[in-house]
Amino acid sequence: MSADDFVVTPWHVEGDIDYNKLIKKFGTQKITPDLSNKITTIAGQDHFMLRRGIFFSHRDMDRILEQYTKGNGFFLYTGRGPSGHTHIGHLVPWVFAKWLQEKFGVKMYFQLTDDEKFYSKDTTLEETKKFAYENALDFIALGFDPKNTKIIINTRDIGTLYPIAARVAKKINFSNTKATFGFTNETNIGMIFYTSLQSAPCFIEDMPVLIPLGVDQDPHFRLTRDIASKIGKTKPALIHNIMIPGLGGPGGKMSASDENGTIYTTDTPGVVRKKINKYAFSGGQPDIEQHRKLGGNPDIDVSFQYLRIFFEPDDAKLKSIYEDYKSGKMLTGELKSILVEKINKFLSIHQEKREKARDTLNQFLLDEK
Amino acid sequence: MSADDFVVTPWHVEGDIDYNKLIKKFGTQKITPDLSNKITTIAGQDHFMLRRGIFFSHRDMDRILEQYTKGNGFFLYTGRGPSGHTHIGHLVPWVFAKWLQEKFGVKMYFQLTDDEKFYSKDTTLEETKKFAYENALDFIALGFDPKNTKIIINTRDIGTLYPIAARVAKKINFSNTKATFGFTNETNIGMIFYTSLQSAPCFIEDMPVLIPLGVDQDPHFRLTRDIASKIGKTKPALIHNIMIPGLGGPGGKMSASDENGTIYTTDTPGVVRKKINKYAFSGGQPDIEQHRKLGGNPDIDVSFQYLRIFFEPDDAKLKSIYEDYKSGKMLTGELKSILVEKINKFLSIHQEKREKARDTLNQFLLDEK
């Protein structure tokens, strides 16, 4: 644990993250009300994730907007490390990316890093590749259009990625990866090389890229930004979302490998209800009497946070839940019931679309090289 | 320079190599007369490169032979880093590999590592890929049969290589590459990862591999051998040739990037004559009078060495040249003339086959993944 009492790297998130400190530590920019307004103005609509600071930080988002208003395009890129089934936390940047794509009318790439998860976890390539295809279904289920959206699966599409990654890799040395990721002499050489493959999609189109993603992934693109000019390219721009807490509460992000700490998009209604009731960290009091008297703490309550981050876009409704829970009028069980209903409603539609996505998956894949 | 006064690594060869010391340093086995006889017996023919100790060292060649006589197959694999045109030194392991292929009736893979040369030299991927195709022509010109011979070009065939390389890379850490190649914190991450791509063809077929190659490439496969059992595979076997000296004489291997130190397969007869006459290190005396009196030293004379290594397979003829030069009966100019004629005769046929190889190249390439 660092002196700041929190750790945020692409492979490890721990502690109670202070996002203002993180902005300073990573050297990113806070999304100011002014920048947020500019996005809203150009998009012609606001987005609750922006309004609520779920997306809180950026690099060069102002440049992207300025160039865009001058008629210069950009494209979007985000991704996922397929270590297991998709959980609801993963959907945050994807949903926001979809909104950006619609409002700005731009092309989008989605990268599934089956190799990365193979390098970093005790698993097989067959397993991570299987989950890459599973995760792709969740992505497609959000309603992306195959005409301007492409899915990259690293081991499948390495023919496209590798020549770009090689140019990146030549400009990054082991010291850079040590400083950025904390690698040691014991780190495997797949992991050491891997960052260049996560960089590669930044340069797949001959225009600037904007990457909406969890802030824990920022270090990869810090390296990419450092070397972009050395290979004659524009630095990638980024817009970062906060970490989505696991059911166990603050102190880490939701992890696909902690089965009870996670709501998967494939969970049944019964499993969702059980997980939320049993594992969702509560900001409530130990018993009803005290809760009625002292009220709950929605700011640390995971069920409330899930509503804020994803499941209750309506500000008025969210405010009323916040106040009722804080005053003690709403009990923890009631709050959890609201969330369970929201999740299950979302998942029943999502799971249907997810099954249909099997039929359209091929349209999203890159042309084979 | 090491305490041994010579350095042999895949990217740097320097000094007067003591091959007996190198065998100890690398931990390989000397090719004993007994082993050499076994190869000859099974092949039904001997080969001058074996007879003369051009191939001098091995790892597990005895195991390959023992298994072969029991009816268990193997396949061959060698390669080339395409930093420039092929020079005559490159042909040594290829010619020997072709002989092995014919005598043992086995499949052969030839890898062109355009990415490696891009990572290790001040060049572009376009340039190294261009030379990969050029070098492939020289390989094909030696008469390989496309039915059982496949050419791998790393950036082209990365789709086949990468999933295998990933399994290798996961088992090798930065310390291993430091110890094996002398990498530092300043080594680029492409180079660090690269060894796993040179390993990959070892596991492309579900049978043991035998690799005929220059001893400078042994370190890559030392790593491969260390990790083979960790990925459930048989250790690759190797048979090593000595380094082919540059025209400038002992103290390094012939390098494709030193234009005057090298005979390229694309050189014209006039260029070959000029290079040999002007640059080939001579074991002769300063003037004719002294040469007649003291005689020359064929053991350090590059022209004689080229005859021994490649251009004069006939032992009786070679012996007579050796004795005549040593006694002073043959002058340096005469020795050089013999070599020039041999090289130009070889190249006139080779260059014709090389041009014809353009028509069959596609038959040798891997099916696209």
Torsional sign, CA B333, B335, B336, B340:
positive
Interface test with B, best of A157, A164, A174, A227 (most B CBs within 10 A): A174
Interface test with B, best of A116, A127, A152, A189 (most B CBs within 10 A): A189
The partner residue sitting opposite A169, judged by closest CB among B176, B190, B368, is B190
Q: Is the pLDDT of residue A257 over 80?
A: no
Percent of chain A residues topping a pLDDT of 70: 96
A159·B163 Cβ contact <8 A: no
State pLDDT tens for residues B141-156.
Answer: 999 999 999 999 999 9
A190·B174 Cβ contact <8 A: no
Å between B81 CA and nearest CA of chain A: 16
Instruction: Specify the 3-state DSSP secondary structure of A118.
Output: helix
State pLDDT tens for residues B24-66.
Answer: 999 999 999 999 999 999 999 999 999 999 999 999 999 999 9
Chain A hits for B162, Cβ within 8 Å: 115, 155, 158, 162
Å between A256 CA and nearest CA of chain B: 21
How would residue B278 be classed by pLDDT, with cut points 50, 70 and 90? very high
Q: What is the pLDDT of residue A255?
A: 64
Q: Is the pLDDT of residue A72 over 60?
A: yes
Please provide the average confidence, as pLDDT, over all residues in chain B: 94
Residues of A with CB under 8 A from a CB of B: 115, 118-119, 125, 155-156, 158-159, 162-163, 166-167, 169-178, 183-190, 192-193, 195-196, 368-369
Please provide the average confidence, as pLDDT, over all residues in chain A: 94
Residue with tokens 């996505």: A357
A188·B173 Cβ contact <8 A: yes
State pLDDT tens for residues A303-342.
Answer: 999 999 999 999 999 999 999 999 999 999 999 999 999 9
Instruction: Specify the 3-state DSSP secondary structure of A232.
Output: coil
Å between A214 CA and nearest CA of chain B: 25
Strands (E), A95-236: 108-112, 149-153, 209-214
Q: Which residues contact A67 (CB under 8 A, 6 or more apart)?
A: A74, A208
Distance of CA B271 to the CA centre of its chain: 23
Q: What is the pLDDT of residue B257?
A: 63
Q: What is the pLDDT of residue A5?
A: 77
Average pLDDT over every residue of A210-219: 95
Interface test with A, best of B189, B199, B367, B369 (most A CBs within 10 A): B189
Q: Is the pLDDT of residue B172 over 60?
A: yes
The answer to whether the CB of A298 falls within 8 A of the CB of A239 is: no
A158·B159 Cβ contact <8 A: yes
Q: Which long-range contacts (CB under 8 A, 24 or more apart) does B5-14 make?
A: B8/B215, B8/B216, B8/B243, B9/B181, B9/B182, B9/B216, B9/B219, B10/B181, B10/B216, B10/B217, B10/B219, B10/B220, B11/B120, B11/B181, B13/B216, B13/B243, B13/B252, B13/B253, B14/B251, B14/B252
Average pLDDT over every residue of B207-223: 96
Chain B hits for A192, Cβ within 8 Å: 174, 189, 192-193
Å between A158 CA and nearest CA of chain B: 6
Å between A167 CA and nearest CA of chain B: 8
How would residue A274 be classed by pLDDT, with cut points 50, 70 and 90? very high
User: How far apart (Å, rounded) are the C-alpha atoms in residues A203 and A222?
Assistant: 15
User: Nearest residue of A to residue B129 by CA position?
Assistant: A163
Tell me the count of A-B CB pairs closer than 8 A: 111
User: Nearest residue of A to residue B231 by CA position?
Assistant: A124
Tokens of B129: 């890929």
Chain A hits for B192, Cβ within 8 Å: 174, 189, 192-193
Q: What is the pTM of this model?
A: 0.93
A189·B172 Cβ contact <8 A: yes
Chain A hits for B178, Cβ within 8 Å: 185
How would residue A277 be classed by pLDDT, with cut points 50, 70 and 90? very high
Distance, first Cα to last Cα, chain B: 44
Q: What is the pLDDT of residue B253?
A: 62
User: How far apart (Å, rounded) are the C-alpha atoms in residues B154 and B192?
Assistant: 16
A162·B155 Cβ contact <8 A: yes
A175·B158 Cβ contact <8 A: no
Q: Is the ipTM of this structure higher than 0.90?
A: yes
> B189-199 vs B158-169: helix axis angle to the nearest 10?
100
Instruction: Specify the 3-state DSSP secondary structure of A240.
Output: strand
Average pLDDT over every residue of A154-167: 98
User: Measuring CA to CA, how many Å separate A319 from each of A199, A297, A303, A333?
Assistant: 40, 13, 14, 18
Percent of chain B residues topping a pLDDT of 70: 96
The partner residue sitting opposite A173, judged by closest CB among B173, B186, B368, is B186
The partner residue sitting opposite A115, judged by closest CB among B166, B171, B176, is B166
Average pLDDT over every residue of B116-123: 97
Chain A hits for B121, Cβ within 8 Å: none
B158·A155 Cβ contact <8 A: no
A169·B369 Cβ contact <8 A: no
Burial B281-300 (b: 16+ CB within 10 A, else e): bbbbbeeeeebeeebbebee
Q: What is the pLDDT of residue A9?
A: 83
A184·B174 Cβ contact <8 A: yes
Distance of CA A43 to the CA centre of its chain: 21
The answer to whether the CB of A202 falls within 8 A of the CB of A224 is: yes
Rounded to 5°, angle at Cα A169 from A165 and A171: 130
